Amino acid sequence: MWLENNMLMALAGLYTAHALSIPKKYKADVKNIGTQEHIFPYLAGSGPYFSYPNDYGISADTPSGCEISQIQLLARHGERYPSKSKGKKLLKTWNTLQHFPYQFNGSLSFIDDDYEFFIQDLDNLEMETTTENSVNAINPYTGEMDAKKHAQEFLAQYADFLEDNREFAVFAASSQRVHDTAQFFIDSLGDKFNISLQVVSEEPSAGANTLSPGYSCPAWNPDEYEDIIGSYSTTYLKAIAERLNRENSGLNLTVTDAYNLFDWCAFELNARGYSEICDVFSPEELIHYSYYDDLTAYYEDGPGYPLIQAVGALYFNASIKLLQQSEQLDQKVWLSFTHDTDILNYLTTVGLFDDEKKLDPSYIPFRNHVFHKSWFIPQGARVYTQKYRCSNESYIRYVVNDAVIPLENCSDGPGFSCEANKFYKYAENRTANQDFYQSCNVSSVSNITELTFFWDWNTTHYNATLLKE
Ligand SMILES: Cc1ncc(C[n+]2csc(CCOP(=O)(O)OP(=O)(O)O)c2C)c(N)n1
């Protein structure tokens, strides 16, 4: 590992020191930061958080005359550095550019202008971005800031309800960045709360008692629908590589390099707040890239892969049980933090973004396109389930990234919610015959058949070892 790190550092000519002041070369960031937010929705959910772009005009506030009885949250960790495997790919592309022996022309000319690559310390790979590990101190898009702001918004939105609910457990999958997000959120809530953070193992051996069923599902095959995903045209990537190579004679960027530039853009925004590489792409190229990500997510972790209904049923079943027990349970606030694909699996089983029209790899269905993955799983994604009572009836609805997303066939309650008994019927249909343990062949990695941490945390105390993955 040490050797591999050193090799990568040498490959990239990396710098170990990072600055907490604004060095001269980042001065321009002061006026540039904030000018790229319109492209966040096209970055495959790897760039900074943004609210769901279409809120239908429905307020996420509790409708008047109603009172909250339970709140659930399933959230993704905040903005992060690339994973180790993605970091390696980005460093390879950066290495090609760094060794180009001539002056750059066109949209890459910023590299000659004192540019330093945004991965400055390999220890940051996989980690949440923070004020401390950011490339410069004025980055407003850190995972740390996002989690702390989210907690303040949560406080503001549910102030009255939280008044009487100040003691609860918060649940985090055992990845370091997931844990850190939960901790930043808890810190930001302040000392008027008494919160116990439960770290639930995301090792395959955790079996069904997990917030990250993706890691305990040996039956899942990423290549199951590779023929569909792989048939998406890469013409847009060829055009990018050819344009940059034409502008810079002797540069030999490949289609793979062109693809990597999108990740560079997204993750540099998380780590620095501004990225010149984002300006390489035309709006059309961003749309193609974004739709390719939708296709991939749809057929690997969404409605296009029937196995996912069972994977997402694990958390959905637990969520339904908590809703049904809301009167009996002392705890009324259930906040959980995990990874992107796990939230996507859950939303797939709920059926919130499934119009039952299969995504087509041969064209972009502009008119019939519900499945915009980045809109529901950006970094810092937050899926709330609200249960409230209005004149003796209970209602349930979802709020995804600040927008109320009504159930298509059950939205005639106050605030376009679904009456509780109708909701349970709906949920029963969605989860019927979905058995996570069996469908995923979990028995080959674990003999734990049930999700119990919500009910036994007080006696079991979940304290799993944190993983840098
Ligand atoms: C059902 C399922 N099983 C296994 C996987 C494999 N897998 C790919 S990514 C991932 C979790 C972490 O993903 P990452 O891209 O690091 O997400 P993030 O932490 O940024 O949310 C898993 C379990 C999967 N995507 N789906």
Which residue CA neighbors atom 18 of ligand 1 most closely? 339
pTM across the whole model? 0.95
The answer for residues whose C-beta is within 8 angstroms of residue 208's C-beta and 6 or more apart is: 216, 314, 436, 437, 442, 446, 448, 449, 450, 451
Which residue CA neighbors atom 13 of ligand 1 most closely? 339
CA of 37 to the centre of ligand 1 (A): 25
Residue type, 205: S
Average pLDDT over residues 22-48: 92
Closest CA to 220 of 335, 339, 345: 345
Best of 263, 299, 339 for a ligand 1 pocket test (most atoms within 8 Å of beta carbon): 339
Q: Where are the alpha helices (DSSP H) in 273-384?
A: 283-301, 307-324, 340-350, 373-376
pLDDT reading at 20 higher than 70: no
Task: State which H helix or E strand residue 450 sits in.
Answer: none
Residue 90 falls in which region: left (phi positive, over 0), alpha (psi -120 to 50) or beta: alpha
215 Cα nearest atom in ligand 1: 23
Residue positions annotated with a catalytic role: 77, 340
CA of 22 to the centre of ligand 1 (A): 35
Average pLDDT over residues 269-273: 98
CA of 214 to the centre of ligand 1 (A): 6
Q: Which domains does the chain have, with CATH numbers?
A: 1-32 (no CATH), 38-460 (3.40.50.1240)
Q: For the chain, what percent of residues have pLDDT higher than 90?
A: 93
Which residue CA neighbors atom 26 of ligand 1 most closely? 214
Which residues does ligand 1 sit against, CB inside 6 Å?
76-77, 83, 214-215, 217, 220, 300-301, 311, 339-341, 345
pLDDT band at 22, cuts 50/70/90? Answer: low
CA of 353 to the centre of ligand 1 (A): 19
pLDDT band at 19, cuts 50/70/90? Answer: very low
- ipTM computed for the complex: 0.96
pLDDT reading at 6 higher than 80: no
Question: Dihedral through CA 84, CA 90, CA 94, CA 97, nearest 10?
Answer: 160
Task: State which H helix or E strand residue 294 sits in.
Answer: helix 283-301
CB 377 within 8 A of CB 365: no
Residue 389 CA to chain centroid, in angstroms? 31
Which residue CA neighbors atom 22 of ligand 1 most closely? 214
Closest CA to 342 of 444, 216, 434: 216
Closest CA to 326 of 413, 386, 415: 386
Q: pLDDT tens for residues 120-151?
A: 999 999 999 999 999 988 999 999 999 999 99
Residue whose entry in the numeric block shows the structure tokens 């051996």: 205
Q: pLDDT tens for residues 298-354?
A: 999 999 999 999 999 999 999 999 999 999 999 999 999 999 999 999 999 999 999
Q: For the chain, what percent of residues have pLDDT higher than 70?
A: 95
Token pair recorded at residue 340: 């992107």
